[in-house]
Structure 1
Amino acid sequence: MATPLIFFSASLLFVLASITAVHSQMDSCDADLSSFLPAPFNTSGLVCKPVWKTFILRYYQSEHNTISIVLSSIYTSGWIAMGFSPDGMMVGSNAMVGWIDTTGRAFIKQYDLRGMSSSDVVVNDGKLRLTSVSPKVVLYGVNIYLMFQVRFSKLVESQEILFAYANEAPNHFLLMKHDDKISISIEFSSGASTASSSPSSDLYQLKQKHGVLAIFSWGFLLPLGAIIARYFRHKDPLWYYLHAVIQLLGYLVGLAAVLAGISLYNKLHSNFRSHKGLGISVLVLGSLQVIAFFIRPDKESKLRKYWNWYHHWLGRLALFLAAINIALGLQIGGASL
């Protein structure tokens, strides 16, 4: 009897610690940059604005018309960019592009966007006047940070800024076509911005809901239902009704987690194929368990023992894959227990 109680207590602690860890590791305007970003980009005096999807822009304009910029985003592969445009269009703008290659090396380059094709996007030939402070790229947790300084001839009040990303990294500095982009007017003098896009705080809330629902269902409710079926059969028929109700509730909560995950996946530019694939596999296995409940043979049937074997091992496989996916999700979310 002690073993399931210990496992139950550990699962509860795991849920509470995981929820706290996932929320605390997300990049936000409240994050402390001083521990991992170099000077002069690690100051708390930067204006911070969630601008688009997971993009967060931090900046400071000095009295010498120099703007220090820190651009962050969730990152798995490819590149992210911030461009300065005279009219909000891509052609004619100049952009700073950052990425991490397959060996782990960080790159940040200036590109002159002369046309729509890749050959018209020329590396190291932009018109931005960078300062003597070298541009830098830092990968911290699941977030990438681009840092650079640009000097202007006069105080910048409003500026059309392009934000873009691609899931494919540059090949020999040849920039692959973006997967998505947006033009936003940034009021550098006041800290305001205008764009028809969802704020990043909404994405953080959706991400948190997805994680909490998934952990509560597959990390708590469904294992609890399995423990009751395994160790409390002497409480017949109470164990059966508890098992059925808890597993059905866990499945519904897990389904809500999947729907939140699909919505999140469609709004983010990151491509977490392993997490998505495992999530779909677990949902299919859970659905098969629900179907099996309605076609359960009678106790006297010769097929009952095969049904029991199917039900037990399919359930164990689903919980095992779910545990792996929860751990993978925590890693993607930047959490560590």
Structure 2
Amino acid sequence: MYSTGWVGMGFSKDGFMVGSSAMVGWMGKTGLPHIKQFSLGGKTPTQVVADRGFLVSSDHGAHTVLVQQAKIYLAFQLRFTEPLKQQNVLLAFGPAIPVNYRLSEHQDKTSIKFDFTTGSSSSGSSFPEGLKRTHGALNLFAWGVLLPIGAIVARYCRRWDPLWFYLHAGIQFVGFILGLAGIVAGVSLYNKIQANVPAHRGLGIFVLVLGILQILAFFLRPKKDSKYRKFWNWYHHWVGRLALFFAAINIVLGIKVGGAGNSWKIGYGFNLAILLITIITLEVLLWTRWKNNSSSTTTY
């Protein structure tokens, strides 16, 4: 822990940061100690507000911040309406001294459940983190891997009729089911942590609607000799492409707002690069074949 940053101890009703209150202390540049309560209304700096929160101080004179051997120690007294038993406690520290009582993003954090009756503690629940990974992994694999592969099969493998159709339909169906499971995990995660990610949620809903429309279109597909078939083809192709395009954007956005590590970024970036290289290569081959077929059928 660094002596030039801040340390904080938060009290949470549900074990999560948003909605909790924290006592934060740091040593100022002039050597004067500072300790303030912060209301953690969200995950952005503007939503972390000083001198707000549900904690009640018993005596401001009892609050102190001490730096010793490059470590910051924080001490304070609070009043509660009844004796504490088990309490969700958040611990975090940041590397920078707050400016105008604006906290920098924490460098590390953890949560524990402290039993004040016995003095023992246990690690906070890992359920939300596991659910977040499940949500991300399912949607990345479904919308970022399987469904693009199914679309590639439909465009570039039509020479192998009707195999391409069964492969396309099967891959897209499995991909949609996995994506739907990922969305269910996302809804459960949102209900658990109430994350403030309107863009990610909005794009997710939009992509889901497009996916449902594609499933419905499959069952409403006109026959090949129908005069409406060309319009259905146009609709099916472009709605599918639109869904995959916005799904890719939302995956990137989800990796960012979810605070995923570099392994997620590198992994999806590598996957996206492989897909793009494959599509470009197959598209060039397809146009070359069309051009050759057109030249061979031209009469003079």
Could you say whether these structures have the same fold, taking a TM-score greater than 0.5 normalized by the shorter chain as the test? yes
Q: How far does the alpha carbon of each residue in 1:171-230 deviate from its partner, in whole angstroms, 9 at most, with x for none?
A: xx9xxxxxxxxxx76339743269xxxx53011111111111100100000000001111
The match for 1:81 among 21, 25, 33 is: 21
What amino acid is aligned across from residue 308 of structure 1 in structure 2? N
TM-score normalised by length of structure 1: 0.54
Q: Shift of residue 302 of structure 1? A: 0.8
**1:285, 1:318 within 8 Å by CA — same for their partners in 2?**
yes
Q: Shift of residue 132 of structure 1? A: 3.5
User: Within the alignment, does 1:241 sit opposite 2:181 as a pair?
Assistant: no
- Please give the alpha-carbon distance, in whole angstroms, between the structure 2 residues aligned to 1:253 and 1:288: 17
Check 1:186–1:127 CA distance in 2 against 1; reply closer, same or farther (3 A cut).
farther
What SS does the aligned partner of 1:149 have? strand
**1:214, 1:254 within 8 Å by CA — same for their partners in 2?**
yes
Q: Name structure 1 gaps, 5 residues minimum.
A: 1-33, 43-47, 56-72, 84-94, 115-124, 135-146, 153-157, 165-172, 174-183
**1:298, 1:304 within 8 Å by CA — same for their partners in 2?**
yes
Check 1:239–1:207 CA distance in 2 against 1; reply closer, same or farther (3 A cut).
same
TM-score normalised by length of structure 2: 0.60
- Please give the alpha-carbon distance, in whole angstroms, between the structure 2 residues aligned to 1:186 and 1:38: 31
Q: How far does the alpha carbon of each residue in 1:138-176 deviate from its partner, in whole angstroms, 9 at most, with x for none?
A: xxxxxxxxx971256xxxxx8458769xxxxxxxx9xxx
What amino acid is aligned across from residue 51 of structure 2 in structure 1? K
What SS does the aligned partner of 2:38 have? strand
The match for 2:51 among 106, 109, 119 is: 109
What SS does the aligned partner of 2:75 have? strand
Check 1:316–1:37 CA distance in 2 against 1; reply closer, same or farther (3 A cut).
farther
- Please give the alpha-carbon distance, in whole angstroms, between the structure 2 residues aligned to 1:295 and 1:112: 56
Equivalent runs, 1:1-337 vs 2, <5 Å: 34=1, 38=4, 41=7, 53=14, 55=16, 73=17, 80-82=20-22, 96-99=37-40, 107-109=49-51, 127-128=59-60, 129-133=62-66, 149-151=74-76, 159=84, 186-187=115-116, 190-192=119-121, 199-335=124-260, 336=262, 337=265
Check 1:186–1:236 CA distance in 2 against 1; reply closer, same or farther (3 A cut).
same
- Please give the alpha-carbon distance, in whole angstroms, between the structure 1 residues aligned to 2:43 and 2:139: 32
User: Which fold has the larger relative contact order, with Cα–Cα distance below 8 Å and residues 6 or more apart in sequence?
Assistant: 1
Structure ranking higher in helix proportion:
2
What amino acid is aligned across from residue 245 of structure 2 in structure 1? F
What amino acid is aligned across from residue 21 of structure 2 in structure 1? A
Q: Name structure 2 gaps, 5 residues minimum.
A: 24-35, 78-82, 90-100, 102-112, 266-300
- Please give the alpha-carbon distance, in whole angstroms, between the structure 2 residues aligned to 1:244 and 1:54: 43
Q: Shift of residue 274 of structure 1? A: 1.1
Q: Shift of residue 297 of structure 1? A: 0.6
What SS does the aligned partner of 1:229 have? helix
Q: How far does the alpha carbon of each residue in 1:31-73 deviate from its partner, in whole angstroms, 9 at most, with x for none?
A: xxx5x8856859xxxxx99976553xxxxxxxxxxxxxxxxx3
- The count of residues paired between Structure 1 and Structure 2 equals 218
